[in-house]
C-alpha cells in the first residue's frame, strides 16, 4: 500500500480544480511510494468550500488558513490563491514544517520571492511551483532533444502566449474571478500570468537569460473594481513583448497579450539551432514539430511527432501508442514528479529557488518596460 501524503489546499478556483484532479488521478496511473489524500480544502466561504470538497472528495473544510497549518494531519499545503497571498501563506506553511506546492508565479516580485525561498530552505521542506507546461510530454521531449545536443548550437528562442478575454471595456477588475486584472492582487498582468509560463519553459530548456528589453501596454486604462464598486485605474499590463539574450548566446523574442482577438490560450514556442528546429503549440499539445537539417535532402522537411509512444516522456503510464492525453495530465505529471521526489530525495522542479529565476526575468521585463532601457536580469 502506498503511504498517504495528506494535502490541505487553500483556494478552490480554476487552478484548484486542476490541482485536485492531478491529486485524484495520479495513483491510478503512476506506481509510487506515496499517494495524495485530499484531507482538507480551505476558503473563507464555508458553503462554497464545502461544495468544492463534496465535488472533489476533500474530507474536511477549513475557513481559516492558519487553522489548516496548525493541523497535524496535514503534510503538504497547496497554495492556490491570488498572487498577493503566496508569500504570507508559504512562509507560514514552511515555518509550520509543511511541504508546499505553490501556484505560479512564485510571488508578486523578486524581493518577496527571496523571502519565500529563504523560508522553505531554512525549514528544509520540499517545495515546488506549478509551472505545469514543463510536463506536457511534447514539451518535456523538446527539453530532452535540446539536452541531447540534437539541435547543436541554439540561435533563436521564440515564444508567445496569446489570449483575448479582456478586450471588452466593461469587464470589471478585482474579486474572485477577476483578481488577475487587479494589480494589488496579481502584481502584474500578462507578464506574471502568461509570460511567466513562457519564461519558465525557456529557462528550463535553453538556460539563463542575461538581459531584456521590453514594452508593455494597458489598453483599457480604467475599469470598475468589484471590491470597491468604483471605476479605478488599471495597474496591470494588458500586453507585453520583450527581446532577450540568453547566456548561451541565443536571441529571443517573447510576446503575450489578452488582446489577440480569436486566441484563447495560444502558447507556442520555437527553437532554432544549428542542426535543427523544434516548434510546439498548446492547441495541438500532443505534437512536437521537428526539423533536422541532417536528413537526406530529398526527404528533408518538418516532421510532426505524435507524442504518444511509450518511449516518449510520461506516455508509458497512459494508454497505448497513438492515444493522446491533454492539458489536465500536465498537472497529474507534476504531482507524480513531486511524489517521486519525496522517495528519491531529488527535488522536483521548479522549486521555489528555480521559480525565483523566472521572477527575476519578470521583474527585469517590467523594469525595462517602465524606463525603456535594456535591463540586466537579477
Binding residues vs ligand SOE (CB under 6 A) = 163, 193, 197, 265
Closest residue by Cα to residue 278 from 267, 289, 287: 289
**15 or 49: whose CB is closer to ligand SOE?**
15
Judge contact between 26 and 32, C-beta under 8 A. yes
Task: Compute the least distance from the CB of residue 157 to ligand SOE, in Å.
Answer: 19
**40 or 183: whose CB is closer to ligand SOE?**
183
Task: Compute the least distance from the CB of residue 18 to ligand SOE, in Å.
Answer: 9
Q: Is the dihedral of CA 98, 103, 106, 112 positive or negative?
A: negative
Task: Compute the least distance from the CB of residue 297 to ligand SOE, in Å.
Answer: 40
What gap in Å lies between CA 153 and CA 142, rounded to an integer?
15
What gap in Å lies between CA 291 and CA 277, rounded to an integer?
5
**201 or 341: whose CB is closer to ligand SOE?**
201
**109 or 163: whose CB is closer to ligand SOE?**
163
**108 or 151: whose CB is closer to ligand SOE?**
108
The H-or-E segment that residue 26 falls in is: helix 14-29
Neighbours of 318 (CB within 10 A): 17
What gap in Å lies between CA 45 and CA 189, rounded to an integer?
26
Judge contact between 192 and 105, C-beta under 8 A. yes
What 3-state DSSP class applies to 5?
strand
Task: Compute the least distance from the CB of residue 66 to ligand SOE, in Å.
Answer: 26
Maximum CA extent, the chain: 67
Closest residue by Cα to residue 163 from 62, 246, 267, 9: 267
What gap in Å lies between CA 199 and CA 112, rounded to an integer?
19
**39 or 197: whose CB is closer to ligand SOE?**
197
Judge contact between 214 and 239, C-beta under 8 A. no
**18 or 41: whose CB is closer to ligand SOE?**
18
Task: Compute the least distance from the CB of residue 24 to ligand SOE, in Å.
Answer: 19
C-alpha cell belonging to residue 112: 518577496
Give the residue closest to ligand SOE by C-beta: 193
**86 or 197: whose CB is closer to ligand SOE?**
197
Look-up: residue for cell 502568461? Answer: 194
**193 or 357: whose CB is closer to ligand SOE?**
193
**41 or 285: whose CB is closer to ligand SOE?**
285
Closest residue by Cα to residue 94 from 68, 76, 81: 76
Nearest-5° angle of CA 293, CA 269, CA 321? 75
Concatenating the DSSP letter of every residue in 341-365 gives HHHH--PPSS-HHHHHHHHHHHHHH
Task: Compute the least distance from the CB of residue 377 to ligand SOE, in Å.
Answer: 22
What gap in Å lies between CA 335 and CA 36, rounded to an integer?
9
Task: Compute the least distance from the CB of residue 3 to ligand SOE, in Å.
Answer: 30
Give the burial class of 113: count Cβ atoms within 10 A of its Cβ; 0-12 exposed, 13-18 middle, 19 or more buried: buried
Task: Compute the least distance from the CB of residue 183 to ligand SOE, in Å.
Answer: 15
Task: Compute the least distance from the CB of residue 195 to ligand SOE, in Å.
Answer: 11
Task: Compute the least distance from the CB of residue 314 to ligand SOE, in Å.
Answer: 18
**DSSP-assigned letter for residue 262:** T
Amino acid at each position: 500500500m502506498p503511504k498517504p501524503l495528506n494535502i490541505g489546499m487553500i483556494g478552490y478556483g480554476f487552478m484548484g480544480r486542476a490541482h485536485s484532479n492531478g491529486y485524484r488521478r495520479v495513483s491510478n496511473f503512476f506506481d509510487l511510494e506515496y499517494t495524495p489524500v485530499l484531507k482538507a480544502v480551505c476558503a473563507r466561504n464555508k458553503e462554497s468550500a464545502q461544495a468544492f470538497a463534496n465535488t472533489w472528495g476533500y474530507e474536511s473544510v477549513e475557513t481559516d488558513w492558519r487553522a489548516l497549518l496548525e493541523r497535524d494531519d496535514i503534510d503538504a499545503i497547496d497554495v492556490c490563491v491570488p498572487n498577493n497571498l503566496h508569500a504570507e501563506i508559504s512562509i507560514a506553511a514552511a515555518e509550520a514544517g509543511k511541504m508546499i506546492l505553490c501556484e505560479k508565479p512564485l510571488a508578486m516580485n523578486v524581493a518577496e520571492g527571496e523571502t519565500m525561498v529563504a523560508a522553505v530552505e531554512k525549514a528544509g521542506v520540499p517545495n515546488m511551483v506549478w509551472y505545469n507546461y514543463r510536463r506536457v510530454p511534447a514539451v518535456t521531449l523538446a527539453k530532452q532533444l535540446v539536452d541531447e545536443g540534437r539541435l547543436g548550437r541554439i540561435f533563436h528562442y521564440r515564444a508567445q502566449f496569446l489570449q483575448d478575454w479582456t478586450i471588452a471595456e466593461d469587464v470589471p477588475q478585482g474579486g474572485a474571478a477577476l483578481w488577475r486584472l487587479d494589480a494589488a492582487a496579481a502584481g502584474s498582468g500578462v507578464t506574471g500570468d502568461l509570460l511567466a509560463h513562457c519564461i519558465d519553459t525557456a529557462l528550463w530548456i535553453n538556460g539563463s537569460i542575461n538581459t531584456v528589453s521590453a514594452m508593455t501596454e494597458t489598453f483599457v486604462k480604467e475599469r470598475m473594481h468589484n471590491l470597491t464598486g468604483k471605476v479605478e485605474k488599471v495597474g496591470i499590463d494588458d500586453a507585453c513583448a520583450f527581446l532577450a539574450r540568453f547566456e548561451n548566446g541565443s536571441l529571443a523574442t517573447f510576446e503575450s497579450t489578452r488582446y489577440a482577438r480569436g486566441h484563447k490560450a495560444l502558447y507556442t514556442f520555437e527553437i532554432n539551432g544549428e542542426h535543427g528546429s523544434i516548434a510546439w503549440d498548446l492547441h495541438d499539445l500532443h505534437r512536437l514539430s521537428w526539423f533536422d537539417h541532417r536528413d537526406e535532402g530529398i526527404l528533408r522537411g518538418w516532421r510532426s511527432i505524435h507524442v504518444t509512444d511509450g518511449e516518449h516522456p510520461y506516455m508509458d503510464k497512459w494508454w497505448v501508442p497513438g492515444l493522446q492525453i491533454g492539458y489536465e495530465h500536465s498537472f497529474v505529471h507534476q504531482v507524480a514528479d513531486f511524489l517521486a521526489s519525496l522517495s528519491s530525495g531529488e527535488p522536483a522542479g521548479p522549486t521555489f529557488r528555480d521559480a525565483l529565476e523566472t521572477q527575476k526575468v519578470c521583474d527585469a521585463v517590467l523594469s525595462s518596460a517602465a524606463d525603456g532601457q535594456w535591463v540586466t536580469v537579477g
